[in-house]
Structure formats: C-alpha cells, structure tokens
Structure 1
Amino acid sequence: MAETHTLIIHGWSDCSGSFVEMKKRFEENGIGTVDTILYADYESREDNITFNDVIDGLHRRLIEKELINPDGSAKFDLNIVIHSTGGLVVRHWIWRYYADRIEECPVKRIVMLAPANFGSPLAHRGKSFLGRLVKGRWKIGDFLEVGRRLLDGLELASPYQWELAHRDLFSKQVSYYNKDQIQLTILTGIEDYSGIRGWVNKPGTDGTIVIAGSSIDSIKMKLDFSDSSTPCEWTQTSTAHDYAFGVIAGLDHGSIVSEFEKGDGEIIDLTIEALKIDKPEKFEAYKTKIDDITDLTYSTYAGRSKNKYSRYQQFIIHAIDDHGADIDDFTIEFYVYKASKAEKNLIDKRKYFNRKEEELSTRIHRELMREVHTYSKEKSYRRLLVNLENLNALLLKAREELGEFVISMKIYVPEIDKGIYYDLDSLQNIVIYSSDGVDGDAPSLFFGNTTTLIELEVDRRTSYVRIGRDPK
C-alpha cells in the first residue's frame, strides 16, 4: 500500500485555520508532507447540518480526493487527528461505513485531542440567545446560526450519544479499537479555563468537554422495575479497552491545540509518537507510558481546590416503559443499607432505616445527584457527574459505621391520569452496589474516567380497557 495520509478534523465552531501549526509540527517530525497531511472542514454552525450530513460529506470528499476507493475500501493507510466534536464525527463515520467490514477500513491510527465522545456542558448554552450572540454566524441569511442540530447531539445525555454508543461501543463483536486494527489514543487536559473565560467552567471538565466523557471505556446497566425476577442486569458489551487514554497536566480545551504553535512540548511529542507506532507491542508500551503520565497528573493535582481535579465518573440515565416509550417525568433516589437487609439484589419493603443509614443515604444521594443535567429536548435522558474522590470518602465512612453495606436505587413515577398509570407496586428498591463485591459477574459500579449508561424500565398500565359479558 502507498504512503500514509493524515487527516485533521476540527470541532464545533472551529475550522482548519486553527490547525496550521499542528500540520507544520507533523511535517517537521516526519508524519507526512504538505500533500499528505490534509484538513477536513465542515460548516459546524449551519443550523440544518446534522452528524449524518457531516459523515456523508466526509465519505464523499474522501472518495473525490482519491483517498479511498469508490466502494470505500482502503487506498492508503489513514491517520486521523481530531479535536473536540471531531471525535463523534470519526466514530460515527467508521461505524456507518465500516462496522461490518472493518478489514476494509483505511484508518490505522486515531489521536483524539479532548474529544466530546459523551458530550459537553457548553452545548445547551450554545443554543441559548447569549450563545448565539457569542458563537453565532453574522452573515445575512445565516444570522446568529450556531449549528443547532449538531449542538443537540453534543448536549449532555443526548439520544444521539446514547444511540451511537449502542452502535459502535456496545456491539456483539470485539471492538475494532485495538492494537491490531485501529490504534486509538485519547488525550485531554486537566485544567479548565482561566481568566474571563472561566465563567463557563464546570466540575470535571477541561473548560469545554467532560474529561470522564472523553473516554470510550463504557458499560451499560439495565434496571428492570417491572420484573422482580431479573431486577438488575449488566449488558454484555464489547466496549473498547485496548486503547490509550491520557490526562495531561497544564492543558485546557484550547491550549491542547494551541500548544502546537510551540516548537516542542509534551502534547506534541505524545501525538507524534502515537502517529508513528507501527507495531502492536509498541502500542502496548505506549499505553503503559500514557497510564503513568495520567497517574502522575492526578497525584500532582491531588487535593487542590477541594478535590476539583479528582477523577470523575459520568452516568447517563434513560427511563422507558415496558413498551420502550420514553418516560419524561421521574425521580430517582439512592439509599444506603446494611448488607444484611438485601436479598437477591432487592431491599425488602418491610426493611426500615436506622439513624446511621438515613444519614449516610442523605449524604451519598446528595453526592451522586450534585451535578445533574436533563436533556433539553427529551427529558427521559439525564446525566449525573460524580466526583469519585468525594464519593469514596463517603463509602469509607459507610463501611466504618455499618460494616458491609449496599447502595440501592429507586425510581418514582407519577400517574399520567386517573386511568393511565405506572405500576408503583413494582417500583422496587434495587441494589446497584455492594461493598463486599459478592456479585462476581457484575463489574464495579464506580470507576474513574468512564461513562456508565443506565436504562430504567417501568411497567405502564391502564384501566381504560375492559372485557366483559355485558355491553357498556
């Protein structure tokens, strides 16, 4: 096969002009030439453009530029370097055109710089009037357009992210993100914005994307409140684990790219090293190196600003009824009980709190629900962000005061009207975490820099349908 080409893909409200210095660094370090390092541009602030449009246009342009064959098969080996929203673009493109024929995919290496794989807390702000003033287009005919359809997908807990994860991460096949097929490297900064831009900062972010949500190490948990025989189920997935994930000191969402304006630097060296890996064993060594850098970053920042720089975990929750229809109005609560009160992953309704359990339940519930975002266009989707340093301190306290304990979860759903309602009797208190880890088949619930999807299913019923001998 001919020489390797490298494609640079930008994020929302950006363009290839921001990556000129990156291309220069690549040329200087032997990644390619001016002719083999290319930019991919898309109009991210066009309100009508969708992710489907972007990946369709990307595929067609690659064919037109003769970087892939007309049938999509590989003509050259391809490196892809993305920033921010570009992560969703390249994942979507690979799934759409190559999921069932990955051996024909031209992509050999991907470096994601601060990717928004599971959204950004700034996306819904971008759709606001203030967001349109700051980021909107100022052309006649496109006045104040911000790319609403893309921002819908970028918003935290969006159905687009949920569905894409089911397509490319929760497949039945072995993940194609591995050392032998597509070598994936994800690098993000740990700092958020300083100065006047700091007003947009949110916990656990690099100023724009959620650090835990940049990783693709994800798993799904299903809580079926309509069936007491199988209340808690972990979906068996082939989620990617064989990839490099690094959190780098001193960088935020913008500086992870602007650092390439310098002649050298850690992020430059790590990106170039990832693009030059030519053997699986070298990728294994690179992963270990990145893990060590990440551990050093967190140890350096430990305890600063009230654990602001801790590892976080993101949870995306989706509530549906037994027909798969969305449930918009629901409340979830978390409880702590001594482990002896749990039977078969359930807390018996006849079991009551003691004082210590009640106090711990209040504190752990508050910590788990501290950062909640409800998706603006479909309220059945919600996102929780948990500071694991703070949570682990509470889990340790619970063990000291109760011994072995469990955390349970319960959902509350109001009736729709007098004849359509949800089966409240089946809304059981389901155990989702056990301190003794006795359920060896279930993965640990709490794991830093990951996103866990939780699907809640509730039985919907009606009294408006009757069958009888006599007419009404």
Structure 2
Amino acid sequence: MAIPTLLIHGWSATSASFRGLSAFLQQQGFNVHDINLADYLSLNDEISLWDVSWAMKKALQEHDLPTGHHSFNAIVHSTGGLVVRDFLRQFCRDEQGRPDASRTPIRNLLMLAPANFGSPLAGLGKSMLGRLGKGWRWDGFMETGKELLNALELGSSISYELALRDLFDPAFPIFDPQHICTTVLVGSNGYEDTFKRMMHENGSDGTVRVATANLNAHYLKVDFGNPTEPRTVEVPRNGPDIAFGVLDRNHSTITQDDRQQREDWRRLVMQALDVTPSNYAAHVQDCEQVTRQTFQRGQGLLGKAQKCFHEYMHVVFRVSDQHGNPIPDYFIEFYQEDGDRADAVMQKIHCEILEKVAPYSQDNSYRSFFFDLTDLQAALEDSGGSLRVDMSVVAANLSADIVYLNPPDMPTSGVRVFDADTRLFFRPNRPMLIDLTLYRETSDRVFRIGREE
C-alpha cells in the first residue's frame, strides 16, 4: 500500500522548486494524490528553525496527513534537512517528554543537498547583498530570515547541538534503519551560471559543502586537564552508516531528472524511497560506489590539480573551560613537533591544506575548519610517509587573575591527528565535531583566607 510523500523545500524557495521532481515521481508510478508539497516562511527575520519545525507538526494535523508510526515518506532539499531533523527531535517523544525514535512518522527520508552542518553562503544571505537580492517583499521588507540563517551558518551552535542529539545520543537513534531509512545525495560541481560559478567553493555543490551534507559525522572530546598529556576520546555514533552518495551535479540539479549521471540519480532516488531495513546495507554500498565513481571520473577528467573534485573534511571546534563556559578567543595550531625545524609542515597545513576557517557569528567559541584531504594525502606521499601532524590550542588569558592552562611547548602537549598510521583527521567528505576543554585557573588574589591578628 502506497503511503504519502512530503516534499520540503530549502531557504528562500517555495514548493514550486519541487514541481519537476513531483512530475518525475508521477512518471515512476506515484499517485499524484500521494504527493504533498510543503511551504514555509524562510525569509522572515523573527522565524527560527524551531518555529518552522513546530509549525510543521501543526500543518501535518491540519492537512490530515497521518502521523502514526511510519505513515509517510519525506524528501527534503537544502535547509529542509535541518527542518525535518528538528521536527523529528520535537515530535518523537514519549508521554514523559523523553526522546523516543520508535515514534517516528517518517519511514523513508531522502535528503537532497541538505545543509546538515551549514552552508558557506549563510553569511552572505544576512549581508546587505543578500537583503538586496532576497529582501524585496511586502511581508518583511529587506528581511532574509536572520534566525534561520543563524542556524545555517557553518559551525553554528544550533547544528552542533542538533547533531549531538540525533546522531550521538544513544537514547535517540532516529537514523538507525529500523526507525528511518535515510539517504543523503549531494553534488560536487558548481552552478553553470557565470556569476554563481565565480563564487563557487571547491568541495561543494555551489551552496552546500559535500562534507556538511553528510550525516556520517565523527565526534571527539579533547581534554587538556593535563596540558602536557591531553586526553582524546572518540564518541561513537548511535547507529550504522547512513546512505550517502555524491554525484556530478550542483545544488539545483540534484533535485532534477537531469542528464548528468541520470541512471545513477534515478536508481538512488527510487531506492531511497523504497529501501527497507533488510536491504539498507546494500543501498549504502551502492551509494558509496557511485561516490567513488564520481570522484574518480571527476579527477580523471580534470586532473587532481583541479580542486573541484578534491575530497574535503569539515571540522567544527567548540572550545570551553572545565565549567562549560565558552572560550571565544583561541588559536588552533597544526604542526609537526619534531624533525621540522623550519616549520614547513605548519606552513603547508595552514597555507594550503586548511582552506577556510569561519567563526560562528553568534558565538566565537564555535569555529569551522575546511581541510583539503586530497592535498593532505598528496603531502604524505611527497614526504615518503614521514609527514606527521599534531594539533594544539592556545587561548588568550582573561586577565592576570584568570588564566588558561595552555599546553606548553613540548613534544607530548599536542594531539597526533595525522600520519602514515594515524588517520584521526582523515575522514573524506565527512564532518567532525570536536569538544575541546581548556582549564582556567585563578591567581592567589581571587580568594584569600587570613588569620585575625
């Protein structure tokens, strides 16, 4: 028995952006009455991600769409990825308000170029240029959806916390295929439009980075309680790998029955809507195979010197003290501790391999880093396997009375993140979250105890 399919658009778009996909689904045998096109306000400054997700709950009820267990499928594009994830966070609760993944109303979820960990264009959307381009409306003149764009920024606290809840909380394994069979498809090529192509960022589809679309995130906790010997713990995800495929498409054509990799796109889209827990692992492998072919073909046609088809990793640091207070003023350093007196490795990492660093505008303790792993692997090969990369952090003291116990300049004070055997920082096309804790200390003047003479 067919179940309804709900299509949810992205920022600044409307349901009209899904007309082509809707027509494709009907050609594949979907009943037009089973296809539901959602619309939501994304350009009003006061409307937040939580507002849209809450309104989605109400709209489902008002539209008489079933919300029982596995009662509909969903296809989302771009910002729609964050919307549906936050909807699931709000909706899937037991009577005591605790997270309960077994209550999901969604059976199969297809994410097309979702901004799961943000977009490099979110900041542009909030700028004057963004307001001039998108703000010409009677309902919210010169507004571009400030609150939603805050959630869409790279390294935002909102996407970080959402990931901790739905990807790493063992009590809420919502993307385990027993609950939702999820598929993420994204492109790795830019727009054809000349102006948009000038703004293209390698490792993206023109709007969303390949690595920030991927839900197969990694989470590290690095504790500098002992500054000379930091402790690193990797927290496992709460479920198996989520199907993830990369095609030679851009942010718009990923939703269309386009000529580029047409057969792969058609097969993966239809599989995503029909896959079951029993054959989900095979679907994951199919997506991985398509991804390998996309990058091999892209690098073969363009050559590795052309970075359009390089593979990248998106890393978000959240730095705080032992009390949980944010530390906004810090510097993350990548270097080789020994055998590199000229700091050639540091220069290589910071000037070539680390391509972008972006602090979150609402809280600078969050920062995103964008690493070109194709170049990192090449650097390892060029070194004959001797390249070693360590990571450390230095925070600015608040005063003479409140200081941070920064790691000293000694071999054991850093964290080895990459070498021929250590691939902590080698997760192609994936995001990584890092909670980094520095300890703050007070001077003797802050609290004194004396004896009465």
Give me the TM-score of the superposition, normalised by structure 2: 0.90
> Aligned partners of 2:84, 2:172: CA distance in 1, in Å?
19
Residues 15-48 of structure 1: per-residue CA shift (max 9 Å, x gap)? 00111221122122123x2221101110000111
Secondary structure at 1:49 match in 2: coil
Counterpart of 1:142 in structure 2 is 140
> Aligned partners of 2:305, 2:38: CA distance in 1, in Å?
39
1:471 CA displacement: 7.1
The change in CA–CA distance for 1:444 and 1:418 in structure 2 (over 3 A counts) is: closer
Counterpart of 1:123 in structure 2 is 122
Say if 1:42 and 1:54, in contact at 8 Å, map to a contact too.
yes
Residues 359-380 of structure 1: per-residue CA shift (max 9 Å, x gap)? 2232134344321111112111
Aligned residues: 440
Counterpart of 1:355 in structure 2 is 341
> Aligned partners of 1:471, 1:363: CA distance in 2, in Å?
61
Counterpart of 1:341 in structure 2 is none
Counterpart of 2:177 in structure 1 is 179
Identity between Structure 1 and Structure 2 (%): 31
Secondary structure at 1:433 match in 2: strand
> Aligned partners of 2:267, 2:379: CA distance in 1, in Å?
39
Counterpart of 1:366 in structure 2 is 351
Q: Which of 147, 150, 153 in structure 2 is aligned with 1:152?
A: 150
The change in CA–CA distance for 1:285 and 1:223 in structure 2 (over 3 A counts) is: closer
1:227 CA displacement: 2.8
Q: 329-338 vs 207-216, which deviates more?
A: 329-338
The change in CA–CA distance for 1:425 and 1:375 in structure 2 (over 3 A counts) is: closer
Counterpart of 2:285 in structure 1 is 288
The change in CA–CA distance for 1:18 and 1:354 in structure 2 (over 3 A counts) is: closer
> Aligned partners of 1:121, 1:372: CA distance in 2, in Å?
11
Query: Structure 2 counterpart of 1:374, which letter?
Result: P
Q: Does 1:385 align with 2:405?
A: no
Counterpart of 1:433 in structure 2 is 417
Say if 1:124 and 1:151, in contact at 8 Å, map to a contact too.
yes
Counterpart of 1:318 in structure 2 is 318
Query: Structure 2 counterpart of 1:320, which letter?
Result: S
The change in CA–CA distance for 1:367 and 1:241 in structure 2 (over 3 A counts) is: farther
Q: Does 1:469 align with 2:453?
A: no
Which runs of no fewer than 5 residues in structure 1 stay unpaired?
339-352
> 1:260-275, aligned counterparts within 5 Å?
266-275=264-273
Counterpart of 1:98 in structure 2 is 92
The change in CA–CA distance for 1:196 and 1:160 in structure 2 (over 3 A counts) is: same
Counterpart of 1:448 in structure 2 is 428
Say if 1:21 and 1:260, in contact at 8 Å, map to a contact too.
no
> Aligned partners of 1:399, 1:234: CA distance in 2, in Å?
29
Q: Does 1:78 align with 2:61?
A: no
1:424 CA displacement: 3.4
Give me the TM-score of the superposition, normalised by structure 1: 0.86
Q: 171-180 vs 40-49, which deviates more?
A: 171-180
Q: Does 1:460 align with 2:448?
A: no
Query: Structure 2 counterpart of 1:461, which letter?
Result: E
Secondary structure at 1:217 match in 2: coil
Counterpart of 2:96 in structure 1 is none
Q: Which of 405, 410, 414 in structure 1 is aligned with 2:392?
A: 410
Which runs of no fewer than 5 residues in structure 2 stay unpaired?
94-98
Residues 72-115 of structure 1: per-residue CA shift (max 9 Å, x gap)? x33x6211001001111111111222163322212110111111
The change in CA–CA distance for 1:315 and 1:23 in structure 2 (over 3 A counts) is: same
Deviation >4 Å, runs of 4+: 425-428
Say if 2:89 and 2:166, in contact at 8 Å, map to a contact too.
yes
Secondary structure at 1:331 match in 2: strand
Say if 2:407 and 2:414, in contact at 8 Å, map to a contact too.
no
Say if 2:404 and 2:440, in contact at 8 Å, map to a contact too.
yes
Counterpart of 1:348 in structure 2 is none
Q: 203-212 vs 460-469, which deviates more?
A: 460-469
Secondary structure at 1:110 match in 2: strand
> Aligned partners of 2:328, 2:227: CA distance in 1, in Å?
23
Secondary structure at 1:296 match in 2: helix
Secondary structure at 1:270 match in 2: helix
Say if 1:177 and 1:242, in contact at 8 Å, map to a contact too.
no
Q: Which of 391, 394, 400 in structure 1 is aligned with 2:379?
A: 394
> Aligned partners of 1:424, 1:318: CA distance in 2, in Å?
16
Query: Structure 2 counterpart of 1:459, which letter?
Result: Y
The change in CA–CA distance for 1:284 and 1:419 in structure 2 (over 3 A counts) is: closer
Secondary structure at 2:434 match in 1: strand
Secondary structure at 2:3 match in 1: strand
Say if 2:247 and 2:294, in contact at 8 Å, map to a contact too.
yes
The change in CA–CA distance for 1:230 and 1:30 in structure 2 (over 3 A counts) is: farther
Residues 403-434 of structure 1: per-residue CA shift (max 9 Å, x gap)? xx642212112222232222236687322325
Say if 1:119 and 1:161, in contact at 8 Å, map to a contact too.
yes
Query: Structure 1 counterpart of 2:406, which letter?
Result: L
1:387 CA displacement: 1.0
- TM-align CA RMSD: 2.5
The change in CA–CA distance for 1:305 and 1:193 in structure 2 (over 3 A counts) is: farther
> Aligned partners of 1:15, 1:29: CA distance in 2, in Å?
23
Q: Does 1:45 align with 2:30?
A: no
> Aligned partners of 1:288, 1:417: CA distance in 2, in Å?
54
